[in-house]
Structure 1
Amino acid sequence: MSVKMMVSTAADKEKKDRAPAPFYEALRKALKKRKLTIESICPTTDVVARRILDEYGAIFLAVKKVTTPPVCMFTAEEQVTRFQEAAGFTAETIADAEIELQPQAMKALLKARAEAQEENLDITPRGGAEAARRNYEESLRLWDTRFLPALEYWLGQGRLTAEQVTRLQNLPLHNQVAEVLELEKSGIFFSKDLSKSILYSIAAPGTSQHIAMLALDVTEFDNPRVREILAKHGWFQTVLSDLPHFTFLGLKEKDLPKNGLKSVEADGQFFWIPNVVDLSRENSLNKGLDH
């Protein structure tokens, strides 16, 4: 084999190693290690759940030392409580806020914080205790902080009628989320700035990564060095445009592509999101980002 061919082969291998694997292929392998299937956590017939998986699914690729959710969407507080008790969590007080995370995630966070402090930096929770573990009711309350004001706005703009607003408010929650996502196809957005999908502004009820106790909203998210340190310890931004939100995957950054994630730049920061083709996501990237 010539030197030129050897160099070419090595370069091709390196390029292949860095190219993102298809998300669902990587997810299938990751779930198999947990004796789960894609269908069991997210039925193919459930369009809403599958959209959630496309957007927030990076969490299911986390290392086996943590417990990932058994479903894409929790539907009741009791279901969330059972999961959180089975997964286990530990509490730490950081910057006067007591936060709760799964033990492995907390261990990595504390190591990252110690490293940051050695450089006269810090890593602290943004928004108090709510920055980490959340329950089902909290995810529902946060959904309403986007959903209800948007209803009022679009009613005032004449894009929704009073009858439609009342109907949307009274729908079963799963159907409500489905209708919101459908309305967004016609430009009726429910994000904070009403410019993009609500899923890039707040999680649908029961779908937040905070419920899994593997997510933390970080005050110092805009500091590049802080983001580097968090990544070194397995914490990455995995929800597009949610700038303060970091997810514990416990993986090395160089291994994220082969685990089905791709790097996307938004607002000057890089997010590791599921490597799936999603036109609605691409369109939203062109709409601007709210914080």
Structure 2
Amino acid sequence: MRLIIKKAIYIFISILVICIVVAITRINLHQPNVQTSNACNTVNSPSCVPNGSVPISPTPNFNIPQTDKERFLSAIASHLSNIPQPGSYEYILLKAYGAVFINQLTTVKLPSNVLLNNEQETQTFQNNLTMVKIEGTNDCYLQAIAATALNQARSQQNIPLKSGYGSGDCTRTFATNLRFWHKYANQHTLDKVKQGQETAILSTVAPPGASQHLWGLAIDLRISNQQQRKTLNEYGWFQTVVNDVPHWTYLGLTESDLVNLGLVNKVEKGISYWVTPL
């Protein structure tokens, strides 16, 4: 009889333990997957959710641009309809003259491609620009915001144009761009540029349809001292084509902005250029 009673007690205790375990498991299954923290009591804290709960850390976003090249390509994507493929003629032009495409000002107009193919395309683009004359010149015009910035810089420093007065230093026609190209190069040179076999010429003259001067955002200046350069930089003007010393480009940004958007500072013969990271 005692043996039967002991067995009954054992069975009863076992059943009770099983019931308790099942009950605890059901309770845990209904608990939300959060970690509580008494320190999370700031209403506007971005890391907190109501009732002091801290959400599990999200997966890191690896799409955030990290390298100079990634930041640059991200910055210019809103301007170009298609980013040129490495090795293409357009990519070569983007590398040489593409610094201007990081411009973030809505009042600046840029073409949707790095190359204007003919006079008609160039005129169509230029006809939609708002142009302002550079003070003290005969017929030198730039996009309004670029011209205004240059006029302000020139009001503080003596900053002469390369030629002293002319339109050739400022916004150019396709025909003028072509004429300058023929002055320094020919079709054979252009073929070599397209094949990636010749790049040095790009510091002397831009191929037809590729000049920043076509966009009303470049000017050739005669600069002789650092104070002139400093003033131009303060108004958003920078040198962007290595070894093309007279050439200045309106970027409309500060030097720290240029770094954040992926441009690289390159010093050549004592002159600081801001170039693409391609």
Name the TM-score, length of structure 2 as normaliser. 0.70
Most deviating of 137-146 and 62-71 = 62-71
* Equivalent-residue separation in structure 1 for 2:260 and 2:67 (angstroms): 5
Q: Considering only CA atoms, is the larger Rg found in Structure 1 or Structure 2?
A: 2
Does the alignment pair 1:92 with 2:134?
yes
* Mapping for residues 39-50 of structure 1, pairs under 5 Å: 39=82, 42-44=83-85, 47-50=88-91
Q: Could you tell me which runs of 5 or more consecutive residues in structure 1 were left unpaired when the two chains were aligned.
A: 1-19, 117-121, 149-167, 170-175, 190-195, 277-291
SS of the residue corresponding to residue 74 of structure 2 reads helix
Does the alignment pair 1:179 with 2:197?
no
* Equivalent-residue separation in structure 1 for 2:148 and 2:258 (angstroms): 21
2:34 matched to which residue of 1? none
CA root-mean-square deviation: 2.2
Residues 150-178 of structure 1, C-alpha deviation per residue, up to 9 Å, x if partnerless? xxxxxxxxxxxxxxxxxx56xxxxxx623
1:112 matched to which residue of 2? 153
State the one-letter code of the partner of 1:236.
F
* Mapping for residues 162-173 of structure 1, pairs under 5 Å: 168=187
1:31 matched to which residue of 2? 77
Does the aligned pair in 2 maintain the 1:27–1:60 contact within 8 Å? Answer: no
Name the TM-score, length of structure 1 as normaliser. 0.67
Does the alignment pair 1:197 with 2:200?
yes
Does the aligned pair in 2 maintain the 1:21–1:259 contact within 8 Å? Answer: no
Flag the 1:142–1:254 CA change in 2: closer, same or farther, 3 A.
same
1:86 Cα deviation (Å)? 1.1
SS of the residue corresponding to residue 142 of structure 1 reads helix
Comparing both chains, which one has the higher relative contact order based on Cα–Cα distances under 8 Å and sequence gaps of 6 or more?
A: 1
1:56 Cα deviation (Å)? 0.7
1:88 Cα deviation (Å)? 2.1
2:227 to 225, 228, 232: 225
1:134 Cα deviation (Å)? 0.3
Q: Could you tell me which runs of 5 or more consecutive residues in structure 2 were left unpaired when the two chains were aligned.
A: 1-65
Residues 206-257 of structure 1, C-alpha deviation per residue, up to 9 Å, x if partnerless? 01010010001112x2311100000000000001111011100100112211
Flag the 1:55–1:24 CA change in 2: closer, same or farther, 3 A.
farther
1:264 matched to which residue of 2? 266
1:66 to 108, 130, 140: 108
Flag the 1:91–1:78 CA change in 2: closer, same or farther, 3 A.
same
1:243 matched to which residue of 2? 245
Does the aligned pair in 1 maintain the 2:68–2:264 contact within 8 Å? Answer: no
SS of the residue corresponding to residue 275 of structure 1 reads coil
